[in-house]
Chains A and B, each alone.
Chain A
Amino acid sequence: MTASEPTLAGADRRSPVLSIENLTVELAGEHGHVRVLDDVNFEIGARETLGLVGESGSGKTITALSVMGLLPKSARIPSGSIEMEGEQIVGCPLSDLQRLRGSRMAMVFQEPMTSLNPAFTVGDQIGETVRRHRGASRRAARARAVEMLDLVGIPNAARRVRSYPHEFSGGMRQRVMMAIALACEPALLIADEPTTALDVTIQAQLLDLLRDLQDQLDLALLFITHDLGVVADICDRVMVMYAGQVIEGADAETLFEHPEHPYTEGLLRAMPHIETRSGELFSIPGSPPAPLDRPPGCAFNPRCGYAEPTCTADAPPLRSIEPNHTTRCLLAEKLRLQGVQE
């Protein structure tokens, strides 16, 4: 494990692979532009896994799509910076993005079948990336495809390279997606709920594989999930998102054991466990606000059991409460929030 110095500010380590500053994203809607991502900041270094956690609509996927330059046409980035290995992505020409995507940064999605082309063999699809970015010959691309299938643990790679996506199971398809994503040895892999559609047994295999690949390829990994169990398994650091904002960030153990935001505490309490049977399940009352009707002040205040009048006044900034631990809760020092035991 390379959790040696999980620095949130990333101050004095090797320069980060990905660095995001003050990123804000707006989507055009019927009533003008709506802010869907608000002031997001983070860095990821080589061999590091950062987890983005939150419920649907919290802005996890928008963050990922901003990095890949894959935001929908209706989106705009009014402020902020995304640097991939020092190269600015916000506002850069499409040709630069196309060069970076696949070669320096890559992404795998929840449903591999929608990202694989059913009409081409997996070998062709892995080879395509290599031919495009490295100008490899057909023969070299095929050899690389076999090598990659082998790397991601698909048996009989030399033969399977001629198979079509439908001939693979869900777990195997996700391995194929990883082979495509990693064929040009990118520095950053974004995994957006890569195991959510899979059985737990297959999920465990894939998480092990990801860890292995990260070690071998020095990957920086941005892992998006709503499953706190998966976070506990694979992430070095975690950022919790709510209503388009990061509301807490820390290394994984600290965040689980000493949460500093009531929403994080709520998520942790709400998890049913396989080890013990809780009397009654806890659920956070209400539901997250729609982007158009964010409450004034802290976005979580209407659902928060600890809210005080100050919470509805000003929007709290993300601030450090301990070294490498940030929170957006005004009351964090006062509250004694419960984390997981041990």
Chain B
Amino acid sequence: MTNPRESEPFLQVSDLSVTFRVTGSGFRRVPLHAVSDVSFTLQPGETLGLVGESGSGKSTTGRAVLRLIEPTHGSVRLRGEELTEMSRKELRRKRQAMQMVFQDPYSSLDPSMTIADSLAEAIKQHEDLGRTDVRERASELLDEVGLGRHHLDRYPYEFSGGQRQRIAIARALAVRPELIVCDEAVSALDVSTQNQIIKLLERLQDQEGVGYLFIAHDLAVVRHISDRVAVMYLGRVVEQGPVEQIFERPMHPYTNVLLSAHPIANPARQRGRERTVLRGELPDPTAPPSGCAFRTRCPHEFEPCATELPDLVEMPNGSFVRCHLHDQGPVLGGSTVRVLPPESRGDRRAATSDETVSTDAE
């Protein structure tokens, strides 16, 4: 059966939430809302970039989609099937359609297995092949990721970081997935290796129509690879939209500040740049600020921000934004936040946050 509409999303995530119980001050167990009400869809061959500071919940979101972490609430539908209600056994079967590639490929490859064995293990999950066929398929996979088949009988330690990441990708491809969650998959690599891996991911997407959930802190990489982007802050999506809109016309003050903090590799421009430097650090996630969680660091905080959590509202440019500047009062109503003067650039040196509680949320 073929899908009547090619552009139908194959992945539908609605109101996904993950709450951890962590030890707070005074050794009390307190809830930590790592992910709150995250919704998105993904079409075949599409890439959704997920950005935000550490502690924003982007990795947890990626894991909860695959149920590597159990969602506390919400729904994840893959081709219409609800993953959150599946039994372990069903999930195991279904997971073949969804793979994950991590930052450190060394920790996801068994050091005592040859590359051929590692790949064979994955291939057998998906296809019932004889030994020679498995080996043939493994060689094909290595070819596909740009490593020769002469590497088949070598061990992970014999490879460089970039090569290991290629192997991890080959392993993910073995089960012909529809979705690959890339969690900082290129972050540990040098720039030329990083670009080789990105090009590989792009080529595989063109060939196989894989959808990527691309989690990364490097905004330049995200801009390059994503079709759409979701920006997260303290567990919530604060802005979500087409990649060009997010980068050219940021609507949320946090998006703007993130973009502004990313240094441009051009001394003349970087030094002449108007910059909004974010005050302080991420608040304690077990006691997030009331109303809009970003307000304590926002240069544009005004009246409703402390009391009401803004809704995610659709903007004329196709982005969705969670900010009172757009839904209340005099202010933006759909224009980019860049039209506002960058206030409170004051003392950029002092960090204003006081205590930070260490958590093991991410």
Contacts and interface: CB of A to CB of B under 8 A. Distances in A.
Given A156-B354, A199-B217, A277-B243, A55 B191 contact: yes
Contacts of B350: 153, 155
B199 A253 contact: no
Interface in B201-255: 217-221, 223-224, 243-244, 247
Nearest to A195: B263
B257 interface: yes
B275 interface: yes
Contacts of B356: 167-169, 172
Contacts of B195: 270, 272, 281-283
Contact of B259 (A154, A208, A235, A274): A274
Most buried by A among B162, B198, B267: B267
A217 interface: no
B1 interface: no
A227 B220 CA distance: 12
A314 interface: no
B220 A271 contact: yes
Interface in A78-104: none
Contacts of B190: 55-56, 226
B306 interface: no
B7 interface: no
27 contacts: A55-B190, A153-B350, A167-B356, A167-B358, A201-B53, A201-B258, A204-B261, A204-B278, A205-B277, A208-B277, A228-B265, A229-B262, A229-B270, A231-B267, A232-B263, A232-B269, A233-B267, A233-B271, A256-B268, A271-B191, A271-B220, A272-B220, A274-B259, A277-B223, A281-B224, A283-B196, A342-B269
A257 interface: yes
A213 to B, nearest CB: 9
A31 to B, nearest CB: 17
Interface residue tally on A, bucketed by range: 35 or more
B312 to A, nearest CB: 22
Interface in A258-296: 266-268, 270-275, 277-278, 280-284, 287
Nearest to A202: B281
A203 interface: yes
A16 interface: no
A197 to B, nearest CB: 9
Given A201-B277, A204-B261, 12 more contacts: A155-B352, A169-B353, A201-B257, A204-B278, A212-B349, A228-B265, A231-B265, A232-B269, A232-B271, A270-B195, A272-B198, A272-B223
